[in-house]
Structure 1
């Protein structure tokens, strides 16, 4: 699970800074690459503009020679550019993925968190989990608040 600040640095930082941040994420203390999956929050912020939308990029690194990234956006198309840039910087082939769509202008973060939770459950359940489809995701702001309180 990648910190949003590190994800931003990976997306917008100098290549050397991004590479160092990436290695801190995927390598253990002994220098072994241990990350099969990366969950990266994507924001449409830039160096000169505050962001106002969150989505999720899942990078499947089980085949490290050909990593695949899936972008889940609850406002389809809104974060395509930053997600594509981030996938490219991580050397991943961006594949189509779908997600339920939010019905308001403020639940994107809830969708990103609940989408992460749903994908983790799928991956924990079986190795050949369907990673392309979160169309049936029910993002629940109140349930998320209750989980965070507990």
Structure 2
């Protein structure tokens, strides 16, 4: 399984060769390693401070979301899904957070230029709901709809703050995830599904990753 690159030739800053996810340059597109590391840090915080929510939440590896859940065969997708939702033989996953990439599975030239976030609410197992958060005019809407359909989740529209540069889409994914998880830890009302007031902080992310 190959990893997504952090950037393309149009990036304002070349990607760091460090694959640990600890190094993010000031104007670099996030790679899967950055998102995965921040998801791991967030889950560690959840397990320490809210173990009940941690047990009900899955922060999905970007590579698994892309290659196995969205692009994999039916059997590959189902096996990956079962590994994600089942812990100790029990399906405890009420909330799935999945980064969506526009990378191609077959064309090595199309290595991905945009991230968005798909949240699947599975509290009603028979009728899960999917919310897609895209910070760049719905660029990944079709891809997210395919993923939601494969997971048999009904799409519902939500609002998302739009990025003002060409390189912060991944920051919107991780900061959006953190904001939604924080709301889940409180009493989540329908209005709190929207992220139209989201303010991202790249510097804070860089410090978290480096720490």
TM normalised by structure 1 equals 0.95
Shift of 1:143: 1.3
For 1:129 and 1:25, the matched residues in 2 are separated by 26
For 1:131 and 1:43, the matched residues in 2 are separated by 24
Match of 1:16 in 2: 75
CA RMSD of aligned residues (A): 1.1
* 1:63 to 2:124 alignment: yes
Closer, same or farther: CA 131–25 of 1 in aligned 2, 3 Å: farther
Match of 2:197 in 1: 136
> 1:40 aligns to what SS in structure 2?
strand
Displacement over 4 Å in runs of 4+: none
Given that 1:12 and 1:46 are in contact with CA atoms closer than 8 Å, whether structure 2 keeps it comes out as no
* 1:98 to 2:159 alignment: yes
Instruction: Give the unaligned 5+ runs of structure 2.
Output: 1-58
Q: Residues 73-132 of structure 1: CA distance to partner in whole angstroms, max 9, x if unpaired?
A: 000210011100000000100110111100001000000000000000000011435453
Shift of 1:10: 0.4
Q: Radius of gyration: which is bigger?
A: 2
> 1:134 aligns to what SS in structure 2?
coil
For 2:164 and 2:207, the matched residues in 1 are separated by 21
Q: Residues 1-150 of structure 1 correspond to what in structure 2 (within 5 A)?
A: 1-8=59-66, 9-29=68-88, 31-47=89-105, 48=107, 49-128=110-189, 130-150=191-211
Q: Which has the higher contact order (CA 8 A, sep 6+)?
A: 2
